[in-house]
Amino acid sequence: MKSTGRPIIPREQLKVVDMTVPTRLLFHAKLDSAASWYVLGLLTLSYSLAYVDRQLLNLLVDPIKRTLLISDTQLSLIQGTAFVSAYLIAAPVFGRLADITNRRNILIFGICLWCTFTALCGHANTYLELFAARFGVGASEACVFPVCCSLIWDYFSTSKAPRAISVFNAGQFIGAGFSLVASGLVLYFADSIRRSIPLLQDFATWQIAFVLVGLTGVVLAAILLTVREPARSVTVKNSADGRRFTFSEGLSYIWKRRAFYGRMYLGIGMHSIVTLGTPAWLPSFLIRCRGVAPSVVGYRLGLIAVIVGTSGVLLGPFVVRFFERRRIPDAALRVAGFSEVSVFISCVSIPFAPGATGVFIAAGVAIFFFSFPVSIFAAATQLSTPSRLRGFVASLHTFLAQSIGFGVGPTAIAILTDKVFKDPQMVGYSLAIVSGVASALAACLFFSALPHFRGMLRERDVNIIE
């Protein structure tokens, strides 16, 4: 064969060639290298930090209510509406930016911004001030999921990316667990902290917690400067990966495949009602109805979230891979569907569990099963999507997950408690009803998406049985 004079690029290197810029200008980092795992560690830490301040509010419900003189429903609007309304506005913007600009810089900017607003939560002395600060937190945190997902798929090969996504998704449980443990310690050592830091002497205990969490992001933002922006990935079989999609083309791509994306996104939203609604009111149920001290609730639920939640999210992809190797190509959504069935059973059992120990056990089972499919969702949608649309698809993923989860979960539970049962002691039954209905709907949506998922894999010509 006559030589063309062009260098032959090995197949594995085609994964990291960005077809929109001359290849001679690119520095090709090796996929799946130690540097890739270093970056993954920082991205996971970023995701953890985002979840710290989200869950911080859940343990501090009653102290905030006493300070600001508000009801469960009003507080749920801070947990949900204030956060998610900003998230709805910012998520598509960050998703689009992740596909066309430097993703590392977007992430650093977002971290600095949300930590500033988290610290401002600690300065809030009125309901409106706290609402506005949470709005700012929601807008700035919208960058994390789309930016990090896009980066991960350019730092890892197709075979390793699902495992990397599972490690990244463990960050939300590490962050949620750490926030509960840290909140419990702050509640316990509040007086000592005031004496040690004169500037915090006039702050309420819950305000001190927000200020301390907000300050931690500055260090992480500085460390992220060591991360390099990778080249955009291109697969051998799909040349469309290398070109940029306009915003309208991206919407058109997803709309034509709405039978898959629609079921996935709505199912993820139902799942998020459970993952965001249950942690929002479970501490209050233990404190009000089982007589557990807030510091003890934070410590124990925090450890459960870190150990059980992280185990679930890391184990999920291994179980999926086990079935894929046995010629079940749609194993991801099958596992997700059966996980939702288990979530339904465990969440419904929470208010009937005997004593505080029984509730902690039921909560641990629920956390394990609702963490189990988290990485599966992200891997399924990212694997079946062209590279230059992954940021946009991930932004829609987090957009709908947060909007439905935060918008419906905490508030629906609070409304049932305040308006239907009209008794704060009934919060456990409200939690069981909302989480039970949402998990049942999620199971139905994932099972109904199975044939469409198989079609997406065939369209992308993805061989997941390797």
DSSP 336-347: HHHHHHHHHHHH
Q: Is the pLDDT of residue 385 over 80?
A: no
**Class for domain 33-226+246-453, per CATH?**
mainly alpha
3-state DSSP assignment of residue 417: helix
Selection from 350, 216, 205, 336 nearest residue 268 by Cα:
336
Selection from 36, 61, 4 nearest residue 284 by Cα:
61
Grade residue 1 by pLDDT with cuts at 50, 70 and 90. Answer: very low
Model pLDDT for residues 36-65, shown as the tens digit of each residue? 999 999 999 998 888 777 777 777 777 888
Q: What is the pLDDT of residue 466?
A: 39
Q: Is the pLDDT of residue 258 over 80?
A: yes
Q: What is the pLDDT of residue 243?
A: 54
Other C-beta atoms within 10 Å of 287: how many? 18
Grade residue 20 by pLDDT with cuts at 50, 70 and 90. Answer: very low
Q: What is the pLDDT of residue 2?
A: 45
Residue 27, burial from CB neighbour count under 10 angstroms (0-12, 13-18, 19+) = exposed
Model pLDDT for residues 327-368, shown as the tens digit of each residue? 888 888 899 999 999 999 999 999 999 999 999 999 999 999
Residue 381, φ and ψ in degrees, nearest 5: -75, -35
Q: Give dist(CA 139, CA 91) in Å, integer.
A: 8
Q: What is the pLDDT of residue 302?
A: 81
Grade residue 279 by pLDDT with cuts at 50, 70 and 90. Answer: confident
Selection from 294, 276, 290 nearest residue 65 by Cα:
294
Q: What is the pLDDT of residue 32?
A: 79
What Å distances lie between residue 361 and 355, 368, 416, CA to CA? 10, 11, 24
324 vs 139, residue with greater confidence: 139
Grade residue 254 by pLDDT with cuts at 50, 70 and 90. Answer: confident
How is the chain split into domains, by residue range?
33-226+246-453
3-state DSSP assignment of residue 257: coil
Model pLDDT for residues 283-329, shown as the tens digit of each residue? 889 998 998 887 788 778 888 888 898 898 888 888 888 888 888 88
264 vs 14, residue with greater confidence: 264
Q: Give dist(CA 229, CA 250) in Å, integer.
A: 23
Highest mean pLDDT pick, 20-29, 206-215, 343-352: 343-352
Whether the CB-CB separation of 65 and 204 falls below 8 Å is answered with no
Q: What is the pLDDT of residue 447?
A: 94
Q: What is the pLDDT of residue 9?
A: 39
When computed from its CA atoms, the radius of gyration of the chain, rounded to whole angstroms, is 22
Other C-beta atoms within 10 Å of 225: how many? 10
Q: Give dist(CA 455, CA 187) in Å, integer.
A: 52
DSSP 420-445: II--GGGHHHHHHHHHHHHHHHHHHH
Question: Considering the chain, what is the average pLDDT of its residues?
Answer: 81
Quickly count helices (H) and strands (E) in the chain.
20, 0
Report how far Cα 418 is from the mean position of its chain's Cα atoms: 28
Q: What is the pLDDT of residue 138?
A: 87
Q: Is the pLDDT of residue 13 over 50?
A: no
Model pLDDT for residues 100-135, shown as the tens digit of each residue? 889 999 999 999 998 899 889 988 889 999 999 999
Selection from 265, 263, 268, 274 nearest residue 433 by Cα:
274
Model pLDDT for residues 175-189, shown as the tens digit of each residue? 877 777 776 676 677
Grade residue 233 by pLDDT with cuts at 50, 70 and 90. Answer: low
Whether the CB-CB separation of 180 and 299 falls below 8 Å is answered with yes
Q: Which residue's structure tokens are 């034509």?
A: 256
Q: What is the pLDDT of residue 235?
A: 44
pTM for this one?
Answer: 0.68
Q: What is the pLDDT of residue 234?
A: 53
Whether the CB-CB separation of 459 and 238 falls below 8 Å is answered with no
Q: What is the pLDDT of residue 11?
A: 37
316 vs 388, residue with greater confidence: 316
427 vs 28, residue with greater confidence: 427
Residue count of the chain, please give it.
Answer: 466
Q: What is the pLDDT of residue 43?
A: 94
Query: For the residues 7-15, what does the mean pLDDT come to?
Result: 41
Whether the CB-CB separation of 332 and 380 falls below 8 Å is answered with yes
Tokens of 417: 């408690």
| Identity of the amino acid at 463 | N
Q: Give dist(CA 157, CA 230) in Å, integer.
A: 13
Grade residue 5 by pLDDT with cuts at 50, 70 and 90. Answer: very low
Q: Is the pLDDT of residue 448 over 60?
A: yes
Supply the DSSP symbol for 185.
H
Whether the CB-CB separation of 208 and 174 falls below 8 Å is answered with no
